Each structure stands twice: as C-alpha cells, then as structure tokens.
Structure 1
Amino acid sequence: MLHGLPRKIRTAFMLQALLAGLAVLLGGYLVLLVVKFGLVNALLKQEAAHYWELYQASPVQPPPNTSNVRGYLLEAGQSPLSLPPALRGLAPGFHEVGDADELVLVDEKPAGRLYLVFLRSQAQHLAFWFGVVPVLLVLLAVYGASWLTYHVSHRVVSPVTWLARRVSQWDPLYPDASELAPERLPADVQGEVRQLAGALHTMAGRIGDHVARERNFTRDASHELRTPLTVIRMASDMALGAQELSPGLQRSLQRIQRAGRDMEALIDALLILAREANIEPQAEWVEVADVVRYEAANARGSLAGRPVELEVHVAAASPLRVPPQVLHVVVGNLLRNACNHTDSGRVDAYVEADRVVVRDTGIGMSPEALARIFEPFFRVEPERRQGHGLGMPIVHRLCERFGWRIELESEPGHGTTVTVRFARDAGQPDRGVDDVASP
C-alpha cells in the first residue's frame, strides 16, 4: 500500500499517546490516594499531637477550629451524643465519611478522644492542585511531545512515501523512471532516499534498454533464422522433385525437410516465450493425436538399430486450441528424450481427453536428477552425445506459458513417465472418440 508506512507511524504514535495517557491517569489516581491517605493523614496527626501538647499544659484548651480543620474533643466519661452524628461510631484511626468527601482522624488518649475533620472544600482543593492539575500538565506534555515527534517523523518519511507512490505507478513492462532523474527530484528528497531514487532510476533505465535489446534481437533473429531455413526447405523440395533419386537419398532429403519444419516450430515457440505475457499468440484448433503421430514418426528415425518399439495409443479425441508449433515442440521433445534414453524396450505415447502421457522403459532418473531436470544444460547422463540439456527447460517454460501442468515419475533402471495436463478452453468443439491404438 502506498501510505502503509505513514499509517503505521501514525498508528504507533496514537497507541503510544494512548498508553502514555492511561499511565498518567493511573499516576494521577495514585497521587489522589497519596493526598488522601498520606498528606492529609500526616497533617491531621501533626495537628492532633500539637493539640495534646497544648491540652497537657491547659485542659481547658479548645479543640482546633480553623479554615481547614474542625476539631471535637470527647473527654473520658462523656456521652458521644455531643458529637456530630457522622462521628459517633468511628473507632480510633483514619476514616472517610460523608461519601468520601471528608477525612477524619480519631486520636485516642487517656484523657479522651480527639476528632479532627479535614473539611470537604479543602480536600477537594488539595486533590485538584496535587492530583488533577499535575495530571493535566503531564498529559499536555505527553501529547505535545507525541505530536511534535509525529510531525518530525512525517517529514522524514514523506520522501519515502513520495518515492513509493512514483514506483508503484510504473508499468512493470515499461518502467518510466524519468521522474526519478536527479534534476527532477523534489528538494526534500535527500540523503539515503535520494541515493535510492538514483539507483532506481539507473536500474529502470537498464531494464528499458534490456527489454528493447531483447525485442530487437527476437525480431532480427526470427528474420535471419527463417531465411536460411526457407532456402533449405526449397532446395530439399526441388531435390525431391528430381528424377532417379536413390532410396537412401530420398530418405535423407525427407529427414532434412522434417528437421527444417522442426526448426521452424522451435523458432516460433522461442519467439512466443520471448513475447510479453499479455500478448496472446495466434492459436487454432489442433487435434493432439495428429501432432503426437507426426512427432512419433520423426522420433522413430532415432531408433534405427535399437530394439525399441514406439507406439501411439489414442483413447479419446483431444482437440486443443493452441499455436500448433508449441504443441509440436512439447511433444517432440518428450518423445525424443524418451527415445534417446531407452536402449531397449518400449516407448508409448498415450493421448487422452485432457492429457498426453509419454512412458518409456529407459534408464530412468534418480530423485536428485528428477529435481534438476528443468534446469538449463542439465543432462542425466552427460556421457551420452544426444541433446544439450535444453529440451526439458523449453518444454517446462512452454507449459507454464499456456497454463499446462507437467508431471514426471521416474526410477533409475525402470524408465520415466511424463504427463502433460492441458488447460482446456470453454469453447472447445465436441469431437467423438478416435482410434484406440495407432502405431
């Protein structure tokens, strides 16, 4: 979120101010208790001690009667009816009476009991000056400090917020970092934020240059690679049209034609991978079984001289809307890998309604090799001359590009099973079941 950092800072300061306010209120409440049970109690005890000293000097000394304290003396043997009703049942000690508005100290001596009442108005006055006023002052100080700190923090964070807002508005495919040019940065963007803006400006420029180079390379490479392939195909077509060709030469020319078509399909697939993800390639309805049969016929050429049987089994019609060259590259790589790593036994390709399964009885793979099979240039047996370790990474990238799921099961010495599950379009045509098995 663009404003996540300022919001977090604001929330932190509000929480800090709230907790500080609660702490101050608790402290104020404790101050009120101290005023009531500490300060007033101590004052009344001093007042009582002073009175008894005067009483010993002159028994006719009247109880204290000032603007703060009212005193009542109940001499030994006298009836408590002479006292105010609220004081008659009080035992010696410190008491709150009158709904906790009056504080009373009852001090007992052999001569009698002295009742000292701290007046309500004075208790409230002390509570206000020693409790409420300090609490308000501390609260104002806490909130003022919090506001000032938040204001300073907001000014410090505002350049980061500005930078995050600008970066979030970039197009990931074509990042425009012109606003982060040093001469266009706001004056308050300084220090580490200015260094970060400069680094992002440089990085975005390099990304833009890289995207442009990749786009130009894919366009130029497709043109330059298609030109010699077209020449090869035309020359092989003309050669096949010649009279009196030997069977071996005809097979060689046909293999050249198939290899040229495979190379064109691979170039198209690589160009699709190089395009941006939001640009959909041209697609058409393709029968998966036809593609599997075609690629199986090509793969049989690599089995010459080896006791390996390659068969295609079609359980159901499987129309798929996809660029045909992509499906050719995926199926062709899987079949060629299976044939190249099977010295004897079988390679079977199964076509079902939503998947293609290629199973072989070849050398298989260990769990370590299975985990690395999609890494570029990784080869299960480097000593084998076939392949360069790029087929499976290309297959994996194409499957990801079109939302297909590729699954592998393998065990050393017991072969490998590769399953490609297709992501279906809602508008696929309704087709009947095709042939059950086809060599």
Structure 2
Amino acid sequence: MASRPKRLKSRIRDVFLLQGIIAVVLVLIGTVVGSQMLAAGLLRDRIRNESDRMWELVQRDPAKPLPNGFGYQAWFVPAGKQPDAVPPQLRVTSPGFHRDADGSSMIYVGEHAEGRLYLRVEPVFATNLVRWVSIFAATLSLIAIATLSWLGHRRFRRMMAPLERLSHAAERWRPESTAPPGLTESSTIHEPLDEVERLRHALIDMTSRMDAFVRRERDFTRDASHELRTPLTVIRMAGDLLQHEEGLDARGTRAVRRIQEQSQQMEGLIDAFLLLARDPRLPIDVTETSLAEVVESEIEHTRPRLEGKPVAMRLQVNACPVVDAPLRLPGVVLGHLLQNACDFTERGEVAVTIDMDRIEIRDTGVGMDAATLSRVFEPFFRADVATESRGLGLNVVRRLVERMGWTVTLDSKPGVGTTAILRFA
C-alpha cells in the first residue's frame, strides 16, 4: 500500500527541525574545539606571566627558594649546580613548553645565564573558567537558535495558513456543487500574498470551467438519451409492424428480425456510452439481472454469425448467478465478447461456461500472440488479422466492466484460441 504523501506544513517543520539539529551540533562542536583552544591559550599566558615573575625573583635573590602558589610549582637550578630538588621526571625536560606524562599539567622549562627555571602549572583554574564560559556561550547560542527557529516556523505557519484554507476549500469542492466560500472569498485579507491570490483566482477559474463542463455533460446526457432513443423506438415499432405484415417472405422476415436485433443493440450501446460519460462518483441505476438469461439471449443474437462455418456453439450452465447491474449493460458486454469469439473462429467451437462468480467464453479461433494480447485493451487497437470485428472496442468493454465493479481478462495463444473470463463476484 502506497504511503500517504507528507503535507507541505510537515515538510517545512521537518526542515526547521533538521536545521535546528545541524545548528546545535555545530554549536556543540564549536564549543568543544573553542574551549580547548581557549584553555590552551589561557594556560600558556599564565605560564608566561608566572615565568616572568619567577625570573624577577631569581634576579633579586638567586639563593632564595621560589614560592609555590595555587595550581603551580617552581624550581630554580643555578648554573653549574645539580637539579637535586627538581622532580626526576622534570630533570631531563628540554627548554620550552611540554605536557607531563599523564597530560594533567603543563611544564615550562626556561634557561638563562643565571640557571634553569622549572615551572609546572595545573590547568585547574583555566579549565574551570573555560568550562563555565563555554557552557554559558553554548546555552546562549542554543537559546538563540531555538528562538529564531520558533519565530521562523511561526512565520512560515502564518504564510502557510492561506494555502491550507485554499487546500481545504478545494477538497470540499464537488463538480455537482458551486465553489465553496474558501475559494470565492479572499483568504489573505490580513497579509496579501500575490502567489496565493493568483492560485485562488486560478482555482476559481478552474471550478467555473468544471461547473460548465458538468452542466454540458448533464445536458448532453439528457438530450442524447431523448434524441437518440426516439428514432430507435420508431424503428423498432416499425419493425414490429413489418413482422406481422402478411405476405412477408423468409428473406424479409430475416431482415426485419435483423432490424429489431440491431435496434436493441443500439439501445444497449447508447446506455453504455451514456454511463461512461457520467461522473463515476455519481450513483447508477441497477436492477436484478439473471446472467444465465442474458447469455442465452446473446447466444441467440450472435448465432447467425456462425452460419456457413463449421463452428459449434456450446453452453454449459453450472450456476445461475443474479447480479445488480444496469439494465442492458451485461448484454452489451457479453454480446461483444461472443461476437469477437464468433468472428475470429473459422472452425471448432465457441464454448460458454457459467459459474456462480464468472462467465468463461472460450473459442478455437486464430488466437493472439503476447504482443497483440498486451495491447487489445488499448483504445482503437485492432489485431492485424484478415477477420476484423466491427463491434464495440475491448477498451470500452473493460471500462464498462470496471464501471460495474467487475473484471475481464483474456488468455490467448496463436492457432489455439482465446479465452475471455468475466468475473463479477
């Protein structure tokens, strides 16, 4: 089952959420990297300041031990003397800035003419300062991002409101009704948007044209139903009168019967095309129809097509299904399938089987290859064979079947024949 498309409002919300997540990640990464760089810079500045102060103390009194303070320790070794008071791990350290073995403190070794200065500084103060500054900066950044995202999302929601109103109005519109108020009235009075207004006017124009189309369709259906049926009724009544005319020979009787059959077939075709011309959402008039009786009637109508051919017409009734369908349409569909079977069969048989949920029409005609079979339901398509059916197209047959909620399938092999299956349950 296909998933329902996401609404534009949800997509915009997702975009804002994604932007917020990306911004938060970038802020956190920037905070971590910046805090490390800031801590290292502060620590180096403190070491430089402390080393300058220690050298001043050494110059005043080289023999006096250097003081230790909060977070740092200092040792001075006069030139030419052994660094016995210096911790062993610092004695081998070369001049410059270093990290101790466990990375917990920064070591500075400075060398002047007076001797060598060892300074070890614990980064506690700098680390704590940077941590709180980073937390404060990150918090302000996150608050700013959240505020801007909320304001932007609110702004977009206000911009989307007219589109949502137009969307709801378009969903409520039906071809048989007038345009809803959401289309005929401006949806952007408080904040005009040119694009939304143009869309609204385009929808109003579309609904007007659709209303006109529906009216034309209704007028055509009414007029066609009357104007086409009237001459057919006259023809059928004239045929009935001719049938009872005295002195009519066998040839004339067959001609009159042919006129009556074609008149009935034309009435069915009119009903079929009028049904297809109507809006599929509108209800259709149905009546209980015995499909076995319809099949028997259509077999009698199509049997003359087999005259002069060594083809047998067989009927097997396994059930007598009764369905709700428009009055003449089952006969139109079954009649066309039977006509095709008779027209494309030169020898053998046309077998009709009636079951409770389907009707199967099998012939031993010329059949069709896979390429032809894949196109038989296309509009105006005809198989490239010597015999051509002049009845209703299979495309229209399938549309009628689907309109009634049924299905029709074909199975065919060249030189073997074709099987049409009409499923109605």
> 1:8-57 CA distances to partner (integer Å, 9 max, x unpaired)?
22232133223312321232223332333342134214522552465256
CA distance in 1, matches of 2:355, 2:126: 97
* Corresponding residue of 2:401: 399
Contact between 1:312 and 1:348, CA under 8 Å: does it hold in 2?
Answer: yes
CA distance in 1, matches of 2:89, 2:83: 17
**Structure 1 position 222, deviation (Å):** 1.0
* Corresponding residue of 1:264: 267
Contact between 2:43 and 2:126, CA under 8 Å: does it hold in 1?
Answer: no
CA distance in 2, matches of 1:167, 1:377: 35
- Verify: 1:411 aligned to 2:407, yes or no: no
Structure 1 residues 89, 133: closer, same or farther in 2, change over 3 A? farther
- Verify: 1:303 aligned to 2:306, yes or no: yes
- Which residue identity lines up with residue 393 of structure 1 in the other structure? N
* Corresponding residue of 2:186: 184
CA distance in 2, matches of 1:295, 1:122: 100
- Which residue identity lines up with residue 221 of structure 2 in the other structure? T
* Corresponding residue of 2:38: 35
- Verify: 1:361 aligned to 2:350, yes or no: no
- Verify: 1:342 aligned to 2:345, yes or no: yes
Between 1:168-177 and 1:282-291, the stretch displaced more is 168-177
Contact between 2:172 and 2:180, CA under 8 Å: does it hold in 1?
Answer: no
* Corresponding residue of 1:236: 239
Give the unaligned 5+ runs of structure 1.
81-87, 424-439
Q: State the Cα RMSD in Å.
A: 3.6
* Corresponding residue of 1:427: none
Contact between 2:239 and 2:256, CA under 8 Å: does it hold in 1?
Answer: yes
SS at match of 1:374: coil
**Structure 1 position 159, deviation (Å):** 3.5
**Structure 1 position 119, deviation (Å):** 8.4
**Structure 1 position 334, deviation (Å):** 0.7
- Verify: 1:251 aligned to 2:257, yes or no: no
Structure 1 residues 159, 95: closer, same or farther in 2, change over 3 A? farther
Match of 2:223 among 207, 216, 220: 220
* Corresponding residue of 1:124: 128
CA distance in 1, matches of 2:195, 2:294: 58
**Structure 1 position 236, deviation (Å):** 2.0
* Corresponding residue of 2:207: 204
* Corresponding residue of 1:321: 324
What count of residue pairs does the alignment treat as equivalent? 409
Structure 1 residues 275, 127: closer, same or farther in 2, change over 3 A? closer
Give me the TM-score of the superposition, normalised by structure 2: 0.81
SS at match of 1:10: helix
Contact between 1:2 and 1:164, CA under 8 Å: does it hold in 2?
Answer: no
- Verify: 1:371 aligned to 2:374, yes or no: yes
Question: What are the within-5 Å matches in structure 2 for residues 5-20 of structure 1?
Answer: 5-20=8-23
Contact between 1:90 and 1:106, CA under 8 Å: does it hold in 2?
Answer: no
Contact between 2:170 and 2:183, CA under 8 Å: does it hold in 1?
Answer: no
**Structure 1 position 391, deviation (Å):** 3.2
Give the unaligned 5+ runs of structure 2.
none
**Structure 1 position 221, deviation (Å):** 0.8
Between 1:328-337 and 1:7-16, the stretch displaced more is 7-16
**Structure 1 position 413, deviation (Å):** 3.5
CA distance in 1, matches of 2:389, 2:405: 29
Structure 1 residues 61, 28: closer, same or farther in 2, change over 3 A? farther
SS at match of 2:381: coil
Contact between 1:45 and 1:105, CA under 8 Å: does it hold in 2?
Answer: no
| Higher relative contact order, chain-length normalized (CA < 8 Å, sep 6+) | 1
Give me the TM-score of the superposition, normalised by structure 1: 0.79
**Structure 1 position 177, deviation (Å):** 5.7
- Verify: 1:281 aligned to 2:294, yes or no: no
Contact between 2:364 and 2:418, CA under 8 Å: does it hold in 1?
Answer: yes
> 1:146-172 CA distances to partner (integer Å, 9 max, x unpaired)?
345434444444433333232223236
Structure 1 residues 9, 64: closer, same or farther in 2, change over 3 A? farther
CA distance in 2, matches of 1:288, 1:19: 67
**Structure 1 position 219, deviation (Å):** 1.4
Contact between 1:96 and 1:104, CA under 8 Å: does it hold in 2?
Answer: no
CA distance in 2, matches of 1:70, 1:211: 92
Question: What are the within-5 Å matches in structure 2 for residues 68-79 of structure 1?
Answer: 71-73=73-75
**Structure 1 position 298, deviation (Å):** 0.7
* Aligned-pair identity (%): 34
Contact between 1:64 and 1:70, CA under 8 Å: does it hold in 2?
Answer: no
Between 1:409-418 and 1:316-325, the stretch displaced more is 316-325
* Corresponding residue of 1:437: none
SS at match of 1:184: coil
